[in-house]
Amino acid sequence: MSYNQDKIDYREFLIWKRLRNISFTIFVGSGKGGVGKSLIATTMGLILTGNSFRVGLLDLDMHGPSSLMILDIKQLPKEEKNGLVPPSINNLKVMSIGFFAKDSPLPLSGMAKREIIKELLAITDFGTLDYLIIDLPPGTGDESLAAINYIKNNRGVILVSTPSRLAQQVVKRAAIFFIDMNVKIIGLIENMVLDNDFGGTYNLARELNVPFLGYIPYDKRVAYISEINPKELTKTTFAEALQNALKKANIIH
């Protein structure tokens, strides 16, 4: 008689055990790369720790894991008895696929990507958290599917768009994917608005019957990830607008 190895995968039990210590998981996604998703996920983490929440950030963006660069994290996760303990900055615990990928892109099959996500969720010891923010890769590929699959008990997804019509089209596709997967859309954000020249994200939110959380202006202070000062990040116009979006989503008050 053969047995199905998946059924006895200890990592799934570990993931379940670890997730029990996390009150809310929020995904941050987009249809398309380059819309500011990672900057929003990272800054959101810092805003929440600034509001005295215990917060972790899990960067699953295999195509461009940028949270480590945004936060200027040089420390590696520490191997301890209960797993890998992520380094923190301003109390934000950060685990990223970038710790393992370094500068090289990851040419992986869908199956391998799912395995990596399972492994990361199983080995990372975030401890007890109020919020775990997950920076998803753009689009609706295997990584997004795997993350949703392992974290069924999530609070939902924040989707990031820009004033560009193309960005809205791909965000619309992503939104339909999340709705199909039974993931609640917490709301849509339109990022990188120049000179109050708003795009159609508000109308898209109405069309999809999901909340619109607001506009975030293009802010020169955050335009280049390698030049961002993580200590100043929450004091920017960008962060102020994001804070308003989080209030609208009832994540902070």
Is residue 37 a contact residue for ligand ADP (CB under 6 A)?
yes
**What is the pairing mode between strands 92-96 and 129-135?**
unpaired
Number of residues that bind ligand ADP (CB under 6 A): 20
Residue 27 contacts ligand ADP per CB under 6 A:
no
CB 21 within 8 A of CB 124: no
Identify the residue whose tokens are 């791909």.
Answer: 170
What are 153's two structure tokens? 């008990």
Cross-strand partners of 78: 85
162 in contact with ligand ADP (CB under 6 A): no
Q: Is 166 in the site for ligand ADP (CB under 6 A)?
A: no
Residue with Cβ nearer ligand ADP (35 or 245): 35
Under rule CB under 6 A, residue 150 binds ligand ADP: no
DSSP 8-state class, residue 124: B
Pick between residue 14 and residue 249 the one whose CB is nearest to ligand ADP: 249
Question: Which of 85, 208, 225, 252: binder of ligand ADP (CB under 6 A)?
Answer: 225
- Map residue 217 onto helix, strand or coil: strand
Interface segment toward ligand ADP; rule CB under 6 A; list 48-56, 164-172, 180-188, 212-220? 212-220
Instruction: Kindly report the number of other CB atoms within 10 A of residue 44's CB atom.
Output: 26
Residue 218 contacts ligand ADP per CB under 6 A: yes
Q: Which is nearer to ligand ADP, 15 or 171 (CB)?
A: 171
**How far apart are CB 63 and ligand ADP at their closest, in Å?**
8
Which residues contact residue 120 at a Cβ distance below 8 angstroms, ignoring those fewer than 6 apart? 58, 60, 95, 97
Binding mask 170-209 for ligand ADP (x = CB under 6 A): ---------------------xx-----------------
Nearest of 33, 85, 96 to residue 59 by alpha carbon? 96
- Does position 219 interact with ligand ADP (CB under 6 A)? The reply is yes
State how beta strands 185-193 and 156-161 pair: parallel
Cβ distance to ligand ADP smaller for residue 15 or 57 = 57
Neighbours of 191 (CB within 10 A): 26
Q: How far apart, in whole angstroms, are the C-alpha atoms of residue 250 and residue 209?
A: 18
The residue ranges that bind ligand ADP (CB under 6 A) are 30, 33-39, 64, 66, 191-192, 216, 218-219, 222-225, 238
